Amino acid sequence: MNKFNALQNNFQRIPLDNSDNASSLYLRDLVEGNEDELWIATRDNGVIKLNERSQQVTSYKNSATNNNTLSSNVIQSLLFDENNQKLWIGTWGGGLNSLDITNNKFKRFYQDSGAQQKNGPQTIVSIMKNQQSTFWLGTLNGVAYFDFST
């Protein structure tokens, strides 16, 4: 990832992964979180949190043996809900996830093991929240309304 410094009129490279495949990270979405935090959606490497001040990088990925992780590493969209301190995560094939950033706990929505969409959309390509705190999800089959209180 590169950050443009307008005062110096140059780019600064920000490393997000120290592994051998760092150059192959495909970034899909980026949202601001709390102070100095950037949340980054990747195509195959889950969600990355970057603390801009310290340059500390934290990765969140799926683990097949742990339901308190992402349901998929293919992330399509992000929305940071400052009021509830949650990061909403739209995945490809893994439904909707939320991460409570106060305790680092994930919750999965719409995620089914079968190929059919039994409880809702499996692929969330965009997430929006309106002034009434209603969530609207862009899916492969159109727009869906989401009420996270139920």
Per-residue pLDDT band for 120 (boundaries 50, 70, 90) equals low
Provide the pLDDT for residue 117: 45
**Residue 137 CA: distances (Å) to CA of 90, 91, 128, 146:** 8, 11, 7, 7
- Asked if the model's pLDDT at residue 106 lies above 70, the reply is yes
Q: When comparing pLDDT for 103 and 26, which is higher? A: 103
- Asked if the model's pLDDT at residue 13 lies above 80, the reply is no
Q: When comparing pLDDT for 141 and 73, which is higher? A: 73
Provide the pLDDT for residue 148: 62
Calculate ∠ Cα 66-67-69, nearest 5°: 80
Average pLDDT over the chain, rounded to an integer:
84
Amino acid letter for position 63? S
Q: When comparing pLDDT for 112 and 57, which is higher? A: 57
Measured distance CA(37)–CA(101) in Å, rounded: 11
Per-residue pLDDT band for 88 (boundaries 50, 70, 90) equals very high
Mean pLDDT of 106-135: 73
Q: When comparing pLDDT for 40 and 121, which is higher? A: 40
What tens digit of pLDDT does each residue of 22-73 get?
A: 556 778 898 999 999 999 999 999 999 999 888 899 999 999 899 899 999 9
Calculate ∠ Cα 72-133-124, nearest 5°: 25
